[in-house]
Amino acid sequence: MIKQLYQDWIKGIWRNNPVFVQLLGMCPTLAVTTSLINGIAMGCATCFVLVASSLMVSVIRRLIPGEVRIAGFTIIIATFVTVAELFLAANFPLLSKTLGPYVPLIIVNCIILGRAEAFASKHSPIRALADSFGMGVGFTLSLVLLGSIRELFATGGIIGTRILPASFENWVVMIMPAGAFLTLGFLIGLFNMIESKLKSHKVTMSQGHMTQVKNS
């Protein structure tokens, strides 16, 4: 049971990473990752909505008739997003202003409806919790990676502290959507390259193992 839960959770981080593998949630990924802090904030907000809505969908999965399930899921997701948005505006006004219209847009983030439909509505709450939490963490990590790279080149540092030498002229393109697309493209390419190297390594390993078994 624990092993299954662990599998449910870990796949959201690497093998089925929502941003680099499933290419879902592109809108907030590209729009708000102008800095590491923004990445964390959006990631956490999305994670909260993901976990809360997946949990709720899973709990009431036998009560919602199939025909209205999407409508039902959307009501649930929209409610949690609005709660998150109001909470952010009330307690972190600066962050709320920076993230702007992209917080309400979490409602249409494909990851959330996708996981609700594909997993949470078909499995027990505890498994739905593991799955959605994994996706949320994977999403947040991706945003943090993207955000820190963009912030590093756009301001010369991360979280306000300068890292690159003073002679480095800031790359303005990194603040803009164009820079987001470029960075994301390169990261996806890097991801795929690592993934294919790991896969071919696994194949040669297993081939070596098979020859060993044959010889023994």
| 194 contributes a contact to another protein by CB under 8 A | no
Q: Please answer whether residues 119 and 55 qualify as being in contact, where contact means their C-beta atoms are separated by less than 8 angstroms.
A: no
Binding segment for another protein (CB under 8 A), chosen from 14-22, 35-43, 84-92, 130-138, is 84-92
- Are 41 and 92 a contacting pair, CB within 8 Å? yes
Among 5, 27, 64, 187, binds another protein (CB under 8 A): 64
Task: Rule CB under 8 A: say whether 5 interacts with another protein.
Answer: no
Q: Does 63 bind another protein (CB under 8 A)?
A: yes
Total Cβ atoms within 10 A of residue 131? 26
SS3 145: helix
C-beta separation of 22 from 115 below 8 A: no
* CA separation for the pair 186, 183 (Å, rounded): 5
Q: How far is the CB of 202 from another protein (least distance, A)?
A: 22
Site for another protein in 100-129 (CB under 8 A): none
62 binds another protein (CB under 8 A): no
Is residue 59 involved in binding another protein (CB under 8 A)?
Answer: no
Residue 158 has phi, psi (to 5 degrees) of -125, 140
Candidate list 1, 2, 62, 67; residue touching another protein; CB under 8 A: 67
CB of 13 or CB of 116, closer to another protein = 116
Q: Where are the alpha helices (DSSP H) in the chain?
A: 2-10, 26-32, 36-59, 69-91, 93-99, 110-118, 125-155, 177-215
Q: Give 62 or 214: the residue with its C-beta nearer to another protein.
A: 62
Residue entry with tokens 């023994």: 216
Q: Which two tokens stand for residue 151?
A: 């912030």
Binding site residues, another protein, CB under 8 A: 63-65, 67-68, 71-72, 75-76, 78-79, 82-83, 86-87, 89-91, 93, 154, 169-176, 178-179, 182
